[in-house]
Structure 1
Amino acid sequence: MEHVTQRSLLTAGALSAVLAPAVDAMAAQAGTAQPAQAKTGQGAPNVIWILLDDVGFGASSVFGGLVETPNLEALAAQGLRYTNFHTTAISSPTRAALLTGRNHHSVGLGLFPETAVDLPGYNAQIPANKATVAEILKNNGYSTYAVGKWHLTPAWEASPTGPYTHWPTGKGFEQYYGFLFGETDQWHPQLVDGTRALDDDPKGRHLNELLTDRAIQYIDQQNKKPFFLYYAPGATHAPHQVAKEWSAHYKGRFDAGWDSYREQVFANQKKLGLIPQNTALPPRNPNVKAWASLSADEKRLYTRYFETYAGFLSYTDAEIGRLIAYLKQSGQFDNTIIAVVIGDNGASKEGSEFGSTVGLGAVLYPNGDIARQLKDIDKIGTEYASANYPLGWAQATNAPFKQWKQDANSEGGTRNPLILSWPKGIQDKGGTRTQYGHVIDLLPTTLELAHLQAPAQIDGVKQDSIEGTSLAYSVTDAKAPSRHTTQYYEINGTRAIYHDGWKAGTLHKPGTAFDKDVWELYNVAVDPTETNDLAAKNPDKLKELKALFDSEGKKYNVFPLKDNLYQQFALDRSAYKDQEVVELNPGVGHIAGVAAPRLYSKYYRLTVDLDIGANSEGVLVANGGRFGGSSIFLQGGKLYYAQTNGVESALISSDVPLKSGKSKLTVEFSPNLWSGADITLYQDGNRIGKGKVPVRYGIAYFPYDEGFDIGRDQQTPVSELYKSPYAYNGKLEHVTIDYKAPLGSRVVGSVNQKVINTLISLKK
């Protein structure tokens, strides 16, 4: 994305203002009816919602953490800090609940778009009668913008041809720039502008910078209308990638380890008044080793992981600061309501016990392979590592709470900080609020503060009521009792219910009977860190709360409970899943990995029709990238098939030089669960090469962060034999993918589902 000067943007806005009356007049003369524009009141506030990703309660300095976030501190110093605010425990459900003001099962996001099943609470389709904040504010006369992570589009809708119903622009955002699914490479992001996949080369620029530039550009183009901006960076979800100067700032700062970090943060939080003085720190989780018990090599590796993470969070704070500085410089800050939710869930456990430099590839090394990771230690943070820290740092940055992301039964999974800033409207600068809140509350809070109404109808569709409770009452009264008194939680069978300061919850083990789950009971009003289980002492209260969960679950489409949703990732739910033969032309553009034709777990014959010249070279088809993908390319007169899962790489080439002229080149992929996949290369039906590539647990690799391209490898290269995009320099006419397996072929009919579930859950 090129820099656009403020002058050019203002000139464009002025030109639009001058031309608008003439355009309207011409439309009227032509008999075209112009849609009525909603009007906002004089001086209506702008609104910015900022949602960070995978940040534990005790990570940022503004809530007692040891990672410096001075811009969030400054924002809180002239606004309010909410210490009893909650999310759903995981990405898409939190985002759906936040944007709609309704519980996540109410809007079909019981888990992810990638795990959708045909049940109202889990179909990943936000219904039209439960409009998003963007639709509501747009109806009230606001311009609406979104940048960053979305993760609410069903996989089968993510093709270049849509449908775009559940894309950001289909849910009320007039402009969108970001990535559609759960994560993306920060140095080579998979970006969409509106509904168009981008080919932009970031040229070494970080995704945070790109998103902030675009957010400022959107605001700069405003023309006398209030705006709503949803700013949702990929930070600090894995991969943890950031420029070296940011991680170097923390060199040696965390050498004392995660146990010391946790104790320091706990003390800070008491000092800042964020938790009661009598709060107890839960014991270390049994799955986390004591820092003192680690080897010197483990300490060196794990410290580097966290230095990188800390740099990533601090850099994200700096980009937020750049956005705020622009608001101040343009005179818009004082009348802008800014809400910052620091994390869509608790800190992530997905780096496993040992951490990872290779994303999903880490699951191939259940014992961590510390020696291999140490060889890659200087890659952590760079484009050559898909890094995530080990479990001990997740517990540390969740201080003072226990458990972590995905655990909907625990405050460690669901309690996240909220900062609310509005210089024009908040008098108690630097105040702290302890009222219970949930992400569904932010929409009604914003509407009440801005004196706006949720319309009864949007686009002719009658709207269901908003399920959240406004927190506006707490802005002027720090001691007001909580008005949000009941809230259920559920993710993949793990569940909890909060009511009037009490909480009951159970950590469900998938595959076991729900009625055998063991429930715990806490009085979180006096025991916020859930250290004193009262289930045995107060069985009547537990029975009461379990019954309340059942009634809330029926009300909000939680039932039937599902604990096998991660298995849905193994299903082919792409836009091409029902086609035995897929026909594609080079102009199809970039296709997101989850929506693309599947090339990694079942038999196929892929044929490319092309012209081959004496110097022809480049990628014909690429799926995925450096940390999981396959690529078919020409180089040095030969045809190559390359594959990697981030750890193991394979390369097969033709045995003979390719013939020039019009040709059909074919790659046949025939997987076998126990011995890998047989790869056979053909030119015009004649076999020209053969080999074997690794297949574990029924898959060759998992292309989540990157997508599918014809005629290039757009983001990171699958093979180190070339640099992306390595576009094919000849004429490429057509690609055919035939999934009809020949009779008697060794095709994987089933896979080790348990391991695939593990692979995917690590990625979320």
Structure 2
Amino acid sequence: MQYLPSYKTFFTIALLSGASAYAQYSPEKPYAGKVGATLSQSTVAASPFNPAAPKGAPNIVYIMLDDVGWGASSAFGGLVETPVFDSLANNGLRYTNFHTTAICSPTRASLLTGRNHHSVNVPTVIDAAVNFPGHNGYMPFEKGTIAEILREDGYNTYAVGKWHITPSPDLTPAGPFNRWPTGRGFDAFFGFMGGETDQYTPALWENTVKVEPDLHGQHLTTVLVDKAIAYIAAQHSAAPDKPFFLYFTPGATHGPHQVDKSWVEKYKGKFDAGWDVYREQVLARQKKLGLVPANVTLPPRNPGVKPWASLSPVEKKVFARFFEVYAGFLSHTDYEVGRLISYLRDTRQLDNTLVVLIIGDNGASKEGGLSGHVHGINEYINGNLFTESYDSRIKEIDSLYDKIGTPQSGPNYPVGWAQATNTPFRYLKQDANSEGGTRNPLIIFCPKLIKQGGIRTQYSHVNSVTPTVLELAGLTVPKVINGYPQDNLEGISLAYTINNPAAGSRHHVQYYEIAGGRSIYKDGWKAAVAHERGTPFSNDKWELYNLNEDFNEQHDLAAASPAKLKELQALFDEQAYKYKVYPLLGDSTRITPALLTRGPLDSRRSAVLYPGLTQVPTRSAPFLSEQSFIINADVELKDDQAAGVLLAIGGRFSGFTLFVQDGRLKAVHNNNGRLTDLTASRKLTAGKAILRYELKYTPARRLTDPAGTEILYVNDEKVAERTITKEDAVITPYDEGLDIGRDQGSAVSPLYRSPYTFTGKLNHVEIIHP
């Protein structure tokens, strides 16, 4: 086996404060000893009070990365060096026909439960769940997670990293917490609840308790590995014969792409030849490794992607830098996973550990647009990527060249690199119709079971992983978990492939659907439609592919084989009704907040919030985007020098903040790094006051169009007013949430340093939707 980097960590005992896990099934048993009137008349007998795992049961580790394309890591032919992944693959099995759902939350829900994602009510990212069966975001307890199953089998269970499958309405300090990680079978959780987070000031939780976000310069992936090792160290010290399950899901390599400069400089100049050459070199490596058929050719570039040779010198410069950062981020992740693997080896646990490594929860990300971005994912969410001048964007990115990848940036590469890292496939993350959106590398490593590395080509899906692991470990799903009768698993175990590379595929049918884009697979044939969001489904044009002969979907057979297409369309319809895929979303019917699953804060016209409330995710907080609202802060001031944040939502890349500075009330919008502010015309005075902000929204079409006014009041006296644009009114920061009385994460405005706690007495803040 190849050498893996040694670990460096402190041996710590993890305090599992704040956990709210359900009890394991452990009924009281008849006492086997003798109970006499006195101790001398009694006989002690050993009494097992807790479930015990079968003797020799393996440790189980799930490692899932985020937004990594099929052709990124060297383990699958990519040009990004991942020696740890290479080692696991070379001493385990590479699965080349493994599929995810095309986007993060559904993939994670399917992985943990062994079911299809609509079966567990997770149709797309959990933030966009809507109130229909199959779509509401509430994973049923009748469909237990692998953690719930393993706890009943006597395992300790830990989740470290990204979660992103708790319904948005439940992500408040009031919970309920039964669908947080510790409510779905994990003894302990340390990580972030949203889809992404900053790598240096992350929104972290331990169990259900908020963790201060400042990592003091450490990278999040390093901190996550340290925490995973601490959990395992404590468990192994207390019960060395007890197996554990670790669900390790770092934010890498989802945006923002941030990593220490030393990792970036390792790749300086190595991608100057561009994405076209990258694709050619990776395809040649994939063929040499035996990962793709020898006759595979590269598909055309995705729409809008320019030939690298046609780019200007500035475009080449900044685009190469984006990918140097990405490559450094992925290599750093590989190194950190190596610390975890080395720890298990050094503590003599690795030989009895089953490692499932999934390199990406979907295809490479399109969220950088054609230009890439440096100010965070809100440039994609708000639409700036698609409405601003391309040339102006390139000029701005060039001016920030030295910051790309640092904590002062929130980068994601342009889609030309996304397709390159998806080599040899076309299309990307979110495209449930395509192999580029749904095919990811799977590596299974288990020294006890796998004696020689190899490649497996049998068709499989992320819902196959949990059934596979349970079969390999000799475990079964309890008929009842926490009082809930359990439904059947829906994935097909891959255990039959471990020692039989030539075995025929047993996973015959699989549907895919994200936001109306959809496909259906049956025994090598695939019918698919790339639905354009916002258009009627009657406009959709289905395509047909024979994947047995056309590895990367280059030859549409719909016209040549209409009967086969019709057969598969009928099969999709059947599967869609069976697994609650309908109704399809993404047509001309707009998904308004009224359709979303709504929580206690975003379903009232008025919400009173108190200091101490921090980092409530945007979708869980009162909804402020593109609508009129009023903020009233009830304060008491000692003098005219009060300062600090009253309300902040978001962080340094995007958000809104209402605060006092130099005795004056201020409001600042951070629109992807562009700042607009409103300052009161006079200073505050000592005494009680109601500090009021009012946004009067007028619907607008373009981000730059006028969209109403915003006004500041002190005790009903108007002290400032200005006209706003639609961009100011789109208040949907994704990485960081809502804080009252301070700015808990990174500062929304550079006018202050977070947390910038309010120095007066803040009684409460009321948000009113008139």
Q: Does TM, scored on the shorter chain, surpass 0.5?
A: yes
User: How far apart are residue 384 of structure 1 and its match?
Assistant: 1.8
Does the 8 Å contact 1:643/1:693 carry over to 2? no
**292, 296, 317: which one aligns with 2:309:** 292
What residue in structure 1 maps to residue 455 of structure 2?
A: 432
Residues in 2 aligned to 1:283 and 1:683: alpha-carbon distance in whole angstroms = 60
What residue in structure 1 maps to residue 43 of structure 2?
A: none
Asked if 1:102 corresponds to 2:103, the answer is: no
Residues in 2 aligned to 1:416 and 1:390: alpha-carbon distance in whole angstroms = 20
What residue in structure 2 maps to residue 184 of structure 1?
A: 197
What residue in structure 2 maps to residue 719 of structure 1?
A: 749
User: How far apart are residue 292 of structure 1 and its match?
Assistant: 0.6
What residue in structure 2 maps to residue 361 of structure 1?
A: 379
The amino acid that maps onto 1:390 is P
What residue in structure 2 maps to residue 31 of structure 1?
A: none
The amino acid that maps onto 2:553 is E
- Name the SS of the counterpart of 1:690 in structure 2: strand
User: How far apart are residue 143 of structure 1 and its match?
Assistant: 0.8
**50, 54, 66: which one aligns with 1:53:** 66
User: How far apart are residue 123 of structure 1 and its match?
Assistant: 1.1
**590, 594, 607: which one aligns with 2:615:** 590
**542, 552, 556: which one aligns with 1:533:** 556
User: How far apart are residue 634 of structure 1 and its match?
Assistant: 1.7
Residues in 2 aligned to 1:299 and 1:4: alpha-carbon distance in whole angstroms = 40
**306, 310, 313: which one aligns with 2:323:** 306
Residues in 1 aligned to 2:416 and 2:719: alpha-carbon distance in whole angstroms = 50
Residues in 1 aligned to 2:411 and 2:262: alpha-carbon distance in whole angstroms = 17
What residue in structure 2 maps to residue 397 of structure 1?
A: 421
The amino acid that maps onto 2:308 is W
Alignment of 1:339-738 (within 5 A): 339-359=356-376, 360-361=378-379, 363-364=383-384, 365-368=387-390, 369-428=393-452, 430-564=453-587, 567-568=590-591, 573-614=598-639, 615-673=641-699, 674-696=705-727, 699-738=729-768
Asked if 1:119 corresponds to 2:121, the answer is: no
| 1:487-524 deviation per Cα after TM superposition (whole angstroms, max 9, x unaligned) | 11111111111111221211122344434422222221
Alignment of 1:201-240 (within 5 A): 201-222=214-235, 223-224=238-239, 225-240=242-257
Residues in 1 aligned to 2:537 and 2:715: alpha-carbon distance in whole angstroms = 56
| 1:272-304 deviation per Cα after TM superposition (whole angstroms, max 9, x unaligned) | 000111122212223211001111111111111
User: How far apart are residue 90 of structure 1 and its match?
Assistant: 0.8
Does the 8 Å contact 1:143/1:226 carry over to 2? yes
Residues in 2 aligned to 1:327 and 1:575: alpha-carbon distance in whole angstroms = 43
What residue in structure 2 maps to residue 170 of structure 1?
A: 183
What residue in structure 1 maps to residue 52 of structure 2?
A: 39
Residues in 1 aligned to 2:162 and 2:737: alpha-carbon distance in whole angstroms = 16
User: How far apart are residue 36 of structure 1 and its match?
Assistant: 5.1
Residues in 2 aligned to 1:9 and 1:630: alpha-carbon distance in whole angstroms = 36
User: How far apart are residue 662 of structure 1 and its match?
Assistant: 2.9
The amino acid that maps onto 1:353 is L
Does the 8 Å contact 2:201/2:213 carry over to 1? no
What residue in structure 2 maps to residue 6 of structure 1?
A: 11
The 3 A distance-change label for structure 1 pair 567 and 179 is: farther
Residues in 1 aligned to 2:668 and 2:599: alpha-carbon distance in whole angstroms = 23
- Name the SS of the counterpart of 2:742 in structure 1: coil
- Name the SS of the counterpart of 1:216 in structure 2: helix
Does the 8 Å contact 2:460/2:507 carry over to 1? yes
- Name the SS of the counterpart of 2:720 in structure 1: strand
Residues in 1 aligned to 2:81 and 2:512: alpha-carbon distance in whole angstroms = 31
Alignment of 1:69-80 (within 5 A): 69-80=82-93
| 1:497-555 deviation per Cα after TM superposition (whole angstroms, max 9, x unaligned) | 11112212111223444344222222212211111222222222222222221222221
Asked if 1:268 corresponds to 2:268, the answer is: no
Residues in 1 aligned to 2:474 and 2:153: alpha-carbon distance in whole angstroms = 11
User: How far apart are residue 408 of structure 1 and its match?
Assistant: 1.0
**95, 100, 109: which one aligns with 1:82:** 95
The 3 A distance-change label for structure 1 pair 313 and 676 is: same
The amino acid that maps onto 2:269 is G
| 1:327-381 deviation per Cα after TM superposition (whole angstroms, max 9, x unaligned) | 1111111111000111111111111111111232363343322111111121211
The amino acid that maps onto 2:161 is G
Does the 8 Å contact 1:38/1:141 carry over to 2? yes
What residue in structure 2 maps to residue 755 of structure 1?
A: none
The amino acid that maps onto 2:11 is Q
Identify the range of structure 1 (273-282 vs 589-598) with the bigger mean alpha-carbon deviation.
Answer: 589-598
The 3 A distance-change label for structure 1 pair 509 and 598 is: closer
The amino acid that maps onto 1:583 is V
- Name the SS of the counterpart of 1:277 in structure 2: coil
Does the 8 Å contact 1:282/1:531 carry over to 2? yes
The 3 A distance-change label for structure 1 pair 675 and 7 is: closer
Residues in 2 aligned to 1:9 and 1:89: alpha-carbon distance in whole angstroms = 35
Residues in 1 aligned to 2:85 and 2:355: alpha-carbon distance in whole angstroms = 11
Residues in 1 aligned to 2:611 and 2:430: alpha-carbon distance in whole angstroms = 40
The amino acid that maps onto 2:176 is P
The 3 A distance-change label for structure 1 pair 549 and 189 is: same
Residues in 1 aligned to 2:409 and 2:589: alpha-carbon distance in whole angstroms = 25
Residues in 1 aligned to 2:532 and 2:396: alpha-carbon distance in whole angstroms = 32
The 3 A distance-change label for structure 1 pair 232 and 568 is: farther
- Name the SS of the counterpart of 1:274 in structure 2: coil
User: How far apart are residue 589 of structure 1 and its match?
Assistant: 3.6
Does the 8 Å contact 2:13/2:231 carry over to 1? no
| 1:630-677 deviation per Cα after TM superposition (whole angstroms, max 9, x unaligned) | 111222121111111114311111111210133222222222334244
The amino acid that maps onto 1:684 is N
| 1:551-609 deviation per Cα after TM superposition (whole angstroms, max 9, x unaligned) | 22221111222225995475574531232221112133431222112334322221222
Residues in 2 aligned to 1:72 and 1:455: alpha-carbon distance in whole angstroms = 33
| 1:611-633 deviation per Cα after TM superposition (whole angstroms, max 9, x unaligned) | 32344321121111112111112
C-alpha RMSD of matched pairs (Å): 2.2
The amino acid that maps onto 1:324 is I
Using the aligned pairs only, state the percent identity: 50
Asked if 1:253 corresponds to 2:270, the answer is: yes
The amino acid that maps onto 1:234 is G
What residue in structure 2 maps to residue 159 of structure 1?
A: 172
Residues in 1 aligned to 2:397 and 2:620: alpha-carbon distance in whole angstroms = 32
Residues in 2 aligned to 1:666 and 1:486: alpha-carbon distance in whole angstroms = 58
The 3 A distance-change label for structure 1 pair 719 and 436 is: same
What residue in structure 2 maps to residue 754 of structure 1?
A: none
The 3 A distance-change label for structure 1 pair 137 and 214 is: same
Residues in 1 aligned to 2:416 and 2:620: alpha-carbon distance in whole angstroms = 34
User: How far apart are residue 392 of structure 1 and its match?
Assistant: 0.4
Residues in 2 aligned to 1:508 and 1:640: alpha-carbon distance in whole angstroms = 44
Residues in 2 aligned to 1:372 and 1:713: alpha-carbon distance in whole angstroms = 27
The amino acid that maps onto 1:678 is T
The 3 A distance-change label for structure 1 pair 210 and 453 is: same
Q: Name the TM-score, length of structure 2 as normaliser.
A: 0.90
Does the 8 Å contact 1:670/1:677 carry over to 2? yes
| 1:140-169 deviation per Cα after TM superposition (whole angstroms, max 9, x unaligned) | 111111011111111111111111222111
